[in-house]
Structure formats: structure tokens, C-alpha cells
Chains A and B, each alone.
Chain A
């Protein structure tokens, strides 16, 4: 009936041969016209006849082949579904949408749950299907963009936090002044105060006395009871509004049998506030028992103000931790000029669909990934490849979304849009990585889980001990100790230690073109002990190129021009498909030597090629074959041998049976490889090179970049065994290679680093992907991983140390020896600072720079 096309995300493919298996299985299914599976993107593009086979069956086929298919689920409300006679038409209409696997309507809840292939179904498709079946969706399906909603929620949170803090801060200043007046005039005793005993009281005493004298000088006489009532009144809104979130959170936690930060703050400030209220309303209860009717309103206000300030600063700082993602996302173009129905229209770039013709004018950002169909220009790909020089693009070339078109106007056909684009995948990968944790956090998590109930227990124990054994007035000291312990304890620092550092570390890595898959990969990278480098494509460019042309003298003594040699050689090689031939053709093109026509072309299996060019018989042959034929090589013979010893492949260009030149071809070493190896060694990492090439060739390259240990003539399939062997020696192995041929070795290694070329992000098998082909990325990755782990370790030491040291101090452990008592206000300042300092320490990772940039 009708032709349909779908992109299925495939899960579980670990190598390129898996892709072949999936492809075969799909192609063999009845109704499938063609199937193409891309291993790098883990997607299968299937053209099929939807009358014969549906998406569900396609997915079943993939499953039967032993792999899995990505699936997403959306649930949305449908108006008046409850009263519909049957849900079958609705379910059918939805299931008929291309890409929908299953649709289930629930009349009781008036909702529909749709399983679909991610990326294949748009919200409008579903809405249209619902309408076609005669229903209305309760609210636009896509309207609730969770990311947007979260962003708005966070912004609103910061705004209300600021307001709440402002009120609490003003009240704190007022309450402090009042408290000082109360404190200055009344020494310890039945009617006095005991605040001058704690650390804050000692600090503030001189100020309090000065304030009292000032008030007295103005001729005012204070009624202390009225001052207390006034303070209670101004503090009330702070408790009811500013501190509301703590009490609400604590209550919600209590119902769920969980205790967190909010529980501590709520119980702490609640106890202090209630004590103060009783002391204000019924001071007689205290004085009759010989207790001072002291109030702690200023402590309540200050605790709430300081903790809100801490949260506020923390929220701001946390916003900065995800800056890297925002910067990446900012590379996306907002809108696109699309040709539809022969007219050029501007649409948001999210609305571009695969197959659209998109026009990109000079200076604009490319909105989607696509293939150039018209025009020519140079495109700046620096943000992806790090290459500062714009790359020329002509029809047939691939262009990546997020790059900048420089000079000409080009038209491209969109091949990947939205989250499917290279940039979208990078953003997704970094976001996923940032949501993971490093194993080092496990201990902290375990402690955090039992932390708050244990602190509650300690606080109550401190209360009991002070009450039973403390100096009079015992109830007052006991209450202060209880409140101080509750307030000073900081489980947040424990929880924030790892995630914030990973957030900043992976973000910073992404900015350097390094995609780290998870916190675990980061931790293993920091522990690396050996680096295994693949040769071809990793240390070298992976594309053979002409490096030398040594020409003979003509019989008349003049030199033969290398350009002529290239011209003739390229003429015969244009018909050959040998990799060396491609190198010669590329050299001819780069040198802009016109390629002549060739006649009577013949390929001599294993020996070379021959043809007639410009009435000359031109041969490009191997050195061995030249010797077999006893051609006169002269000094070129020793040149050829020397070049071969350097690991290059010499070929001989013969014109009319006379040797004209030796052309040396080799896979050039990337310019930064040598520096990268030196830096890796400086990081204390032994570097080993693996190569499938001959020993001689491999060793020549190794020597050039400064690697001593070479494992040559290793088949791709043996590389994984090699990694295993090193691991058996107890080494943490980092394997660097390309993501396709080396996939098994990358997967076997403790950390697999795939070296990419910007466009294809072969991230399936690797823990780390270097977007830029630069080997120095490995150095940066290891250095950054180590620095991140160091930051995490410091964060954890700080978080644990802080709580272990200060909770006993807050409980009054120093009082018997020094007479020191921490005040609740100081405790809240310490608490706020503690979690903030962890975030700030993690943020310091933003200043990380690669070694060569410093």
C-alpha cells in the first residue's frame, strides 16, 4: 500500500558487526524494502510498506535479533474520555500514527498512554490523531516542556528566596539590637540572661553595652517585658513566611518517614521559638522555678536568614555549574530559512524536519545537520573540531548544525534534526553524564541516609546530658545545646560533594571537546596507570599521504620536476582504487596539478599500475617489482630503502622504462601527537603503542612520537586480549582508538577513549569520546579527571570533617574544659557556609586549563 520510513533507535550494539546483524534481520523481514543500520549513531533507517508490517513488528524483529529498541512513553489527558462509549477507535487512531508502538486509553483516569519510537512521533501527530478520532486533548501534549518548567521553577525559587531572606535579614538586625539591650543590662541570675556565656554573646557584649548607654543617654527607660513582646511580634512573620519552607518540608518528610535538612532546621528553630514564646507570655513559669525568662527571637530570625542566604548563594552557584551545557545549547541556531512549496520561509529550527531544504546565508549558524545540495562556502567548525580554519563545503559535503557559515550562501538538505544532530547528541551525552555519580560518593550516600535521625538522637542526648549534669539554669543550657546541634549539622555538604564536582568537571571537559560518559568513567580515568594508543587514526591521521618525491636526473643532467612526476603518476592512479593511489591523487589535487587522461590502463596485481599518458608509458610500481625487473634505480634505490626504513611506503614512478622518481607515501603523524605523548609521560603514565602494521613501520612512528613500548602486527581482534593481559598485571588501562575497529578493546579497557572526527560521535563503546581528533585530548581528560577526583575528595573530607568536629562542639563538648559554648546563630552561619563552600570548591574546577594553555 503506502511506503513508510522510520528511524529506530537500537540498543545493545557493541560493535559494527552487531549493526550488520540487525540490518540483515530487518532487511529479511517481509514488507521491508530496505534497512540501513548506523552503528555510530545506533539508529536503523527502515523503508517499509506499512500495509505489510508495522512498527511493533519491526521492533519485534530487532528484539528477535538479540537487540533492543529505544522506546519512550507519554501520557496525556483526553477530555470526557470517561463518557465515551468505546476507547477502541481512539486507540486505533493513535496506533495508526507512524512510530507509535502501542496506545492504551484508560477511561477511569481519562488518560491515554502511548508507547512510541523516540524522535519518530511529534506531539502534533498525536493531537491530530486524537482529534481525528473525535476527541480533544485536555492540554497540549508538548506544552509542558519539563526542562522549561524546571528552569522557571528554579528562577521563581531564587526570587522568593531573595524576598524571604530580605525580610529575615531586616528582622534579624532589629531582633539583635533588642536582644543586646536585654543582655547588656542584666547579668546572669534569676532574672538575667545567659547569652553572654556563648561565643557570640562574648563578642557582642561591648557593642551591647555601648548600645545600652546610647539608649540611656537619650533618656529612654526600657520595659524589658515589652521589648520581648515586640521582638516576638516582629519575628513571627519570619517564622511564618521566611521559614515556611523548612516547616513544610519537615512535615512532608515526617509523613514519608524521612528526615532531612528541613527536619533539623524546623525542630531547631521551632524549639527556640516556642521556648521564647513561653518565656514572653508566661515569664512567671520560669522565674518561679529559678530560671531566667530569656528569649531567643534574634537566634530564630538569624538562623532562618543565614540558612536562606546559604541556599540563595548555593542556588546561584549551582546555576553556574551547568553553564557548560548552556553554552553548548547556545550554539543552536534559533531559526532556519526553509524552502517549502517553492517559497523561502523562516521557521524555528526545532520545526525543521528531515528532508527539508535549508538555506544558510553568510555569517549564519547552521541550524541542523545536512548535506549541501547547492552553493559553495567555507564553514567554521571550530566549536566541534577545534580547527580554527573554515572548511570548504560544496554540494555533497556534510555540514553540522551549530557551525558557522562564513562567506557564501549554501542550501542543504536536512539529514538530522533536533536531538538527533551531532550537537544535540553531544548536549544529551553531557547531560546524561552530569546526572551520574562517581562510586566514591557511595559512602557519603550511605551516611547521608542515616545522618539526620542520628543527629536528632545526638541533639536529644545533648539536651538530656545538659539537663542532668549541666550548671544551672539547666533547662536553658540544655535547650541551647539542642538547638545548636540541630542547626550546625549539615547533611547537604555530604550530598553535594560529588554531584557538583562531576557537573562542573564534565562540563569543563565538554568545552574542551571531551565527552565523558559518567562519573564512574571519570573516576576510573583518574586511576589510570597505563595508556594504550592505537597507531592508525589515533597517533597518525589515518589517511595515507605523499610525504616525499625524490626525482632522478634526466639524461641531459637537468632535474625532473616533482610536479611532472605527480601529474603522470596521478593520471594512471586515477583508475586505481588502492589506498596509495588515493594518496597520490590527493597530493596532485592539493598541488593543483591537472590530471591528464590515461589510455591502455592496466593494473598489475600486487606490483603496480600502468597506462599511456601523453604518449608516454607511465608505470607506478612497488620497489620490489622495480628490482625484479632490474630497472636502473641509481641513487634512488638507496633513497627508497632509507624511506622504507622510516616506515614509509616507497613507490617507483617509471616513464618509458626509465626510473623517474621515488614517491614516499605514509600515514602522517598528527602534529600534536608527540606533545601529547610527552605530557602523558609527565603525568606518570607509561604509554604503549599498538598497531596492526609491520614492526618496522610501527617502530618508526613510535620513535618519532617518543614511545618506547610497541606492540606491532596485532590483529584488531587481538587488541582486546592485549588489554586483558595488561589488566591481569593489575593495571588500570586506558585504551585510545577509533570507536569502530577498536570497539572491543575500548569496551574491555578500564576506560575506552574513542577518538572522533567531529561528525560521527562513536560513543556507544567508549567511556570517553574526543570530538576533536587531537591526541592531547587524552592528556586533558586524564588531568581534568584527576583534578575533579581531588576536588571530590576534598569536598568529602570537608563535609565529613565539618560534621564530625563541629557537632560535638555544638553539643558543648568544649564547655567543661574551656567554658566555650557555641551560639545557635554562629551554628547557622557555619552550616550555611559549609554547604556553600563545597559548591564553591567544585566551581573552582571551572578554572581548569589544559597544560599547553597555561
Chain B
């Protein structure tokens, strides 16, 4: 094998591993839902993905996710929370509210109808709020 071949092989393997990790296993920055009147509420923009895509909530308090779908691409026209039995259509240019109350802590993925877009709902034990996260960090920016 020539050095070029060795370099290309090693580089190829590295790119494959990195690409698979990045698309399938990594997560974006988390956003915590704001609590107002006993409901944890957060707005999620749906355009080529979920912004924010990792949402931190607390167990035991109702969660209201307001999905605004800012595109007509077919991929994002549903949002599915398998664990909570939610499979909701997201009409384009509308805000669709998804409400439920997570009862136990854990990490629950959500996704679009075709599993192309992914998000993660992180349910923390009650009272264990992360101080540093701000819901305003990820939208409007």
C-alpha cells in the first residue's frame, strides 16, 4: 500500500465514524422550558430540524410544547413522541401545541414522521432545575 492509500483509508474510516456519530448519536445544546402558571412551556421552531432540539423539563409538571412549523417540506409534517403516545400533524406556518405530563425522569426522543428529524426530551427529577440554561438562548438568535 502506498502512503496515499493508507492516508485515504484512515481518513475514510475517520469520516465515516465521525459522520455516523454526528448524525445519529450527537445532540445539540439543551434548552429548559420556562414555567408559567404551573405549565412548563417552550416554543420549538420546525425548519429542517427542531430548534431547540434538546428540551429539558421536570417530571410531574405539565409540559406544553408549541411547535411552529416554518416550512412546507413534507419531512416535518408530523411530530411523534412515541413514549407519550403522541403523533400530531404540524400544519405549515401554524403553531401546534402538544401537551402532556411526563411522570418519570429519563430521556425520551421525539422525531418527525419519517424519523429524519430528531429531538430529545430530557425529563429531570422534580426540583432539580439547571440554573444555567435559558429558554431564550436558542430562538430569536
Q: Footprint of B on A, CB under 8 Å?
A: 73, 75, 104, 144, 146-147, 149-150, 153-154, 157, 249, 252-253, 255-260, 432, 435-437, 444-446, 448-450, 452-454, 456-457, 460-461, 463-464, 467-468, 491, 494-496, 499
Q: Is the Cβ of A253 less than 8 Å from the Cβ of B49?
A: yes
What residue of chain A has the Cβ atom nearest to residue B9's Cβ? Answer: A464
Smallest Cβ distance from B33 to chain A, in angstroms? 15
Chain A proximity mask over B1-43: 1 for CB below 8 Å, otherwise 0: 1001100110011011001101110111000000011000000
A275 to B22, CA, bound (A): 25
Among B15, B22, B66, B116: residue with most chain A CB under 10 A: B116
Q: Are B78 and A435 in contact (CB under 8 A)?
A: yes
Contact partner, A257, options B28, B47, B87, B111, Cβ 8 Å? B28
In this assembly, does B126 line the interface, its C-beta being within 8 Å of a C-beta of chain A? no
Inter-chain contact A256/B92, CB cutoff 8 Å: no
Q: Can you spell out 30 A-B residue pairs with CB atoms less than 8 angstroms apart?
A: A75-B95, A104-B37, A146-B93, A150-B91, A150-B92, A252-B49, A256-B49, A256-B50, A256-B51, A256-B117, A257-B53, A258-B117, A259-B19, A435-B78, A437-B87, A444-B114, A449-B111, A449-B118, A450-B24, A453-B19, A453-B24, A457-B16, A457-B19, A460-B15, A461-B12, A491-B116, A495-B74, A495-B75, A495-B113, A499-B113
Report chain B residues within 8 Å CB of A457.
Answer: 16, 19-20
Say which residue of B20, B27, B72 sits within 8 Å of A453 (CB atoms). Answer: B20
Contact of B16 among A257, A444, A449, A460 (CB under 8 A): A460
Say how far B22's CB is from chain A's closest CB, in angstroms. Answer: 6
The one of A146, A157, A432 that contacts B94, using a Cβ cutoff of 8 Å: A146
Which residues of the other chain, B, contact A467 by a CB distance below 8 angstroms?
4-5, 8-9
Given A150-B93, A259-B23, answer yes or no on A464-B12 (Cβ-Cβ < 8 Å).
yes
Assess the B12–A463 pair: CB atoms within 8 A.
yes
Q: Does B134 contact A (CB under 8 A)?
A: no
User: Are B78 and A252 closer than 8 Å at their CB atoms?
Assistant: no
In the complex, are the beta carbons of B114 and A495 less than 8 A apart? yes
Known pairs A257-B28, A452-B23; A468 contacts B5 (CB<8 A)? yes
Q: Which residue of A lies closest to B74 (CB)?
A: A495
Looking at the assembled complex, report how far the CB atom of B10 sits from the nearest CB atom of chain A, in whole angstroms: 9
| CB nearest neighbor in B for A468 | B5
Task: List 10 tightest A-B contacts by C-beta distance, closest first.
Answer: A256-B49, A449-B115, A252-B48, A464-B12, A453-B23, A435-B89, A146-B94, A495-B114, A457-B16, A150-B92
- Binary interface encoding of chain B residues 44-62 relative to chain A, with 1 for a CB under 8 A from any of its CBs, else 0: 0001111101000000000
Flag if A153 contacts B53 (CB, 8 Å): no
Q: Which residues of B contact A104 (CB under 8 A)?
A: 36-37
Q: Determine whether the beta carbon of A258 is less than 8 Å from that of B113.
A: no
Q: Quick one: closest A residue to B23, CB to CB?
A: A453
Bound together, the chains give a CA A463 to CA B87 distance in angstroms of 40
Most A Cβ at <10 Å: residue of B12, B16, B26, B92 = B12
Known contacts A253-B48, A457-B16, A495-B75: does B9 contact A258 (CB below 8 Å)? no
Q: Are A157 and B8 in contact (CB under 8 A)?
A: no
A257 & B23 in contact (Cβ 8 Å cutoff): yes
Cβ-based interface call for B97 (8 A)? yes
Chain B residues whose CB sits within 8 angstroms of the CB of A461 once the complex forms: 12, 16
Q: For residue A454, which residues in chain B have a CB less than 8 angstroms away from its CB?
A: 20
Q: Contact: B51 with A468, CB < 8 Å?
A: no
**Further contacts, 5 of them, CB under 8 A, given A73-B97, A249-B73, A464-B8:** A153-B93, A252-B47, A258-B23, A432-B89, A453-B20
- Among B47, B66, B73, the one with the most A-chain Cβ atoms within 10 Å of its Cβ is B73
Least CB distance from B141 to A in Å reads 12
| CB-based contact B28/A154 at 8 Å | no
Min CB distance A490 to B, Å, is 13
Min distance, Cβ A807 to any Cβ of chain B, angstroms:
15
Which one, A249, A432, A468, contacts B48 given CB within 8 A?
Answer: A249
Q: Is the CB of A257 within 8 A of B27?
A: yes
- Given the complex, which residues of A lie within 8 Å of B78, measured CB to CB? 435, 437
Rounded to whole Å, the gap between the CB of A429 and the closest CB of chain B is: 13
The answer to whether A144 and B23 have CB atoms under 8 Å apart is no
* Minimal Cβ-Cβ distance residue in B for A250: B48
How many A-B contacts at CB < 8 Å in the complex?
A: 123
Distance in Å: Cβ of B91 to nearest Cβ of chain A: 5
Contacting residues, chain A, for B24 (C-beta < 8 A): 450, 453
Asked whether B72 lies within 8 Å of A150 as measured between CB atoms, the reply is: yes
Docked CA distance A432–B91 (Å): 11
- Kindly identify which residue among B1, B5, B9, B115 contacts A445, using a CB–CB cutoff of 8 Å: B115
Given A257-B26, A453-B23, do A468 and B1 touch, yes or no (CB 8 Å)?
A: yes
Shortest CB distance A757–B (Å) = 30
Residue numbers of B with Cβ under 8 A of A are 1, 4-5, 8-9, 12-13, 15-16, 19-20, 22-24, 26-28, 36-37, 47-51, 53, 66, 72-75, 77-78, 87, 89, 91-95, 97, 111, 113-118
- A448–B116 contact, CB under 8 A? yes
What separation, in Å, do the CA atoms of A253 and B78 have in the docked complex?
17
Option from B47, B72, B114 in Cβ contact (under 8 Å) with A154: B72
CB pair B72–A256 under 8 Å, yes or no, is no
Once the chains are docked, how many angstroms separate the CA of A461 from the CA of B15? 10
**A260 contacts B94, CB within 8 Å?**
no
Q: List, in ascending order, chain A residues with CB within 8 A of B74's CB.
A: 495-496, 499
Q: Report Cα–Cα, A657/B11, bound state, in Å.
A: 109
Nearest-neighbour CB distance to chain A for B95, whole angstroms, equals 6
Contacts of B50 in A (CB 8 A): 256
- A233 and B131 CA atoms in complex are apart in Å by 54
B49 pairs with A255, CB closer than 8 A = yes
**What's the Cα separation between A454 and B92 when bound, in Å?**
29
How far in angstroms is the closest Cβ of chain B from A324?
18
Q: For residue B19, which residues in chain A have a CB less than 8 angstroms away from its CB?
A: 259, 453, 456-457, 460
A461–B5 Cα distance when bound, in Å, is 13
Contact residue among A256, A259, A437 (Cβ-Cβ distance under 8 Å from B53):
A256
Please give me the residue from chain A that is nearest to B118 by CB atom.
A258
Say how far B27's CB is from chain A's closest CB, in angstroms: 7
Contacts of B89 in A (CB 8 A): 432, 435
Structural contact, B22 and A445, CB atoms closer than 8 A? no
Which residue on B lies nearest to A459, using beta carbons? B16
Contact of B115 among A150, A446, A468 (CB under 8 A): A446
Query: A431 — nearest CB in chain B belongs to which residue?
Result: B89
Interchain CA distance A75-B95 in the complex, whole Å: 9
Cβ contacts under 8 Å, B53 to chain A: 256-257
Alpha-carbon distance A144/B68, docked complex (angstroms): 14
Q: Give the residues in chain B near A259, CB-CB below 8 Å.
A: 19, 23
Q: How far is the CA of A61 from the CA of B116 in the complex (A)?
A: 42
Is B23 a contact partner of A157 (Cβ separation < 8 A)?
Answer: no
Query: B114 touches which one: A253, A449, A468 (CB < 8 A)?
Result: A449
Distance A146 CA – B69 CA, assembled complex (angstroms): 11
How far is it, in angstroms, between the C-alpha of A461 and the C-alpha of B11 when the chains are bound?
10
Instruction: Indicate whether A445 sits within 8 Å of B47 (C-beta atoms), given known contacts A257-B23, A435-B77.
Output: no
Tell me the minimal C-beta distance from B45 to chain A in angstroms: 10
> Which residues of the partner chain B approach A499 to less than 8 Å between Cβ atoms?
74, 113
Question: Considering only CB atoms, which chain A residue lies closest to B73 in the complex?
Answer: A249
For A144, the chain B residues whose CB sits under 8 A away are 93
The residue among A144, A259, A449 with the most chain B CB atoms within 10 A of its own CB is A449
Task: Please report the C-alpha to C-alpha distance between residue A464 and residue B12 in the assembled complex, in whole angstroms.
Answer: 6
Taking the closest CB of chain A, its distance from the CB of B53, in whole angstroms, is: 6
Least CB distance from A146 to B in Å reads 4
- Quick one: given A75-B95, A453-B19, are A260 and B75 in contact (CB under 8 Å)? yes
Residue of A nearest to B77 (CB): A435
Contact of B113 among A147, A255, A445 (CB under 8 A): A445
Kindly list chain B residues whose C-beta atoms are within 8 Å of the C-beta of A150. Answer: 72, 91-93
Contact across chains for B72 and A153 when beta carbons are under 8 A apart: yes
CB distance from A1 to the nearest CB of B (A): 28
Note all chain B residues with C-beta closer than 8 A to A446.
115
Q: Which residues of B contact A432 (CB under 8 A)?
A: 89
